[in-house]
Amino acid sequence: MADRGKRCPHFKPPASGMPWFEWTCSECQDSGVRMRALSLHDPYPWLILDLPDEHHKNIENRQRSMLSATGPLLVHVAKSATRPRHEEALKLARRCGVPDSLLPAFGARPLMGIVGCVNVSQKLPPHSMFDALYRWKFPTHVGYVLNKRVKLPFRGMAGGQGVFHVDLTREEEQIVRRAGMF
């Protein structure tokens, strides 16, 4: 498993709430980009990242607010997957118009790792007048609009509850920059 924490022992994180930041250590000359991440249960990361534009999950629903700022967010696949949770997600996908031929099979994908990056462009409150524009939005939940997405090579690592921060690898940083996420 890769370490999600700081590379530099002198690293001091800036104020919380920033979606990403670049850092450089003057003592050891190390540098990098740290970005916030969110762990999702399988198959939700794949419904966000793998489906064609007309079908992909473009809203992340939460019962309460979890982000203080819009911007890039890494997508992490949680370490556990259950068949009942998977089937419930597929039922939701079918209600949102996703054909069965595009739905992922249970256990077909790796768990516990970073798999992509999305851009959170907007936060919709519960019972928003914009709910009808997003077929994946739950009316009683806060909805985070995901307007850009890019897949990243799978990088196994432990996740965290809520939003946590991860140092990007150089390859991930290049892919995310090319996608225009920051």
| pLDDT tens-place string over residues 61-108 | 999 888 878 899 999 999 988 999 999 999 999 999 999 999 999 988
Residue 120's beta-bridge partner residues?
Answer: 71, 146
Backbone φ, ψ for residue 49 (5° rounding): -95, -30
pLDDT of 2 strictly over 70: no
Q: Where are the domains of the chain?
A: 29-178
CA–CA distance, 4 with 165 (Å, rounded to integer): 7
Superfamily designation of domain 29-178:
Hypothetical protein. (2.30.130.30)
CA–CA distance, 156 with 166 (Å, rounded to integer): 12
Evaluate whether 157 touches 3 at the Cβ level (below 8 Å). Answer: yes
pLDDT score of 3: 42
Q: What is the pTM of this model?
A: 0.88
Q: Which residue carries 């009683």 as its tokens?
A: 140
pLDDT score of 11: 62
Backbone CA torsion sign across 132, 135, 138, 144: negative
Residue 134's beta-bridge partner residues?
Answer: none
Average pLDDT, rounded, for the chain:
88
Residue 23's beta-bridge partner residues?
Answer: 32
Residue 34's beta-bridge partner residues?
Answer: 21, 167
Q: How far is CA 28 from CA 34, 55, 166, in A?
A: 17, 46, 20
E strands present in the chain? 20-24, 31-40, 59-62, 71-77, 113-124, 142-156, 163-167
Average pLDDT over residues 113-119: 97
Q: Which residue carries 């799978």 as its tokens?
A: 154
Q: What is the pLDDT of residues 19-52, one digit of tens each?
A: 777 777 777 777 778 899 999 999 999 999 999 9
Q: Identity (one letter) of the amino acid at 94?
A: R
CA–CA distance, 177 with 175 (Å, rounded to integer): 6
pLDDT score of 26: 74
CA–CA distance, 121 with 84 (Å, rounded to integer): 31
pLDDT of 4 strictly over 60: no
